[in-house]
Amino acid sequence: MSRYDEFQAFRAELNEKILARGTTQTRRFFTLDTKTYEAGALDAKTKELLGLSASMVLRCDDCIAYHIDQAVKAGATDQELWETFDIALVVGGSIVIPHLRRAVAFLEACRARG
């Protein structure tokens, strides 16, 4: 299974378990999380890039992969993604670099799916 498919499969399987076993509060948090990225005054692509810059400086590989995937689906170009990477890099510092490496590998996997 590709890194892309593995990521999606583990995410889907565990989200299902979380929603089945968690409390009402857990489910409410997941609903709130989803709704926050719906288009409003800012369009969906911009919101995904905002989630991406936040995830990069907090250095969460799975969150970075998720927002890259969503941003790509919302039409983000490579140039827009790299400018977002640059902001995360300058705000978050060199500690972001290992996550940038994995982000670049994941973006390649996203684009390869066509």
Closest CA to 51 of 32, 73, 70, 79: 70
CB atoms within 10 A of CB 39: 11
Instruction: Check residue 112 for interaction with a second copy (CB under 8 A).
Output: no
Instruction: Check residue 91 for interaction with a second copy (CB under 8 A).
Output: yes
Instruction: Check residue 37 for interaction with a second copy (CB under 8 A).
Output: yes
Specify the residue for token string 């800012």.
42
Size of the site for a second copy (CB under 8 A): 64
Instruction: Check residue 2 for interaction with a second copy (CB under 8 A).
Output: no
Q: What does the alpha-carbon distance between residue 49 and residue 80 come to, in Å, rounded to a whole number? A: 9
Q: Which of helix, strand or coil describes residue 26?
A: helix
Q: What angle do the packed helices 61-73 and 97-112 form, to 10 degrees?
A: 40
Least spacing, CB of residue 4 vs a second copy, in Å? 16
Least spacing, CB of residue 77 vs a second copy, in Å? 6
- The site for a second copy (CB under 8 A) is made up of 10-11, 14-15, 17-18, 21-23, 25-26, 28-29, 32-33, 35-37, 40-42, 46-47, 49-51, 53-63, 77-80, 82-98, 100-102, 104-105, 108
